[in-house]
Homo-oligomer: A and B are copies of this chain.
Amino acid sequence: MKVCRRITFNSAHRLFNSHWSDEKNLEVFGKCSNPNFHGHNYVLETWIDGPIDQETGYVIDLKKLKDILNDEISERFDHRNLNLDCPEFAELKPSAENIAVVIWNILRSKLETKFSLSVKLWETENNVVEYNGI
Contacts and interface: CB of A to CB of B under 8 A. Distances in A.
A38 B10 contact: yes
A45 B125 CA distance: 11
Given A2-B130, A40-B10, A128-B3, A56 B28 contact: yes
A101 B96 CA distance: 28
Contact of A98 (B32, B38, B57): B57
A79 B32 contact: yes
A5 B47 CA distance: 20
Interface of A is mostly: mixed
A8 B124 contact: yes
A115 interface: no
A85 interface: yes
21 contacts: A1-B100, A1-B101, A3-B96, A3-B128, A4-B129, A6-B127, A8-B124, A12-B12, A12-B37, A28-B56, A36-B84, A38-B81, A40-B40, A40-B41, A41-B124, A41-B125, A45-B128, A52-B97, A57-B95, A58-B95, A59-B97
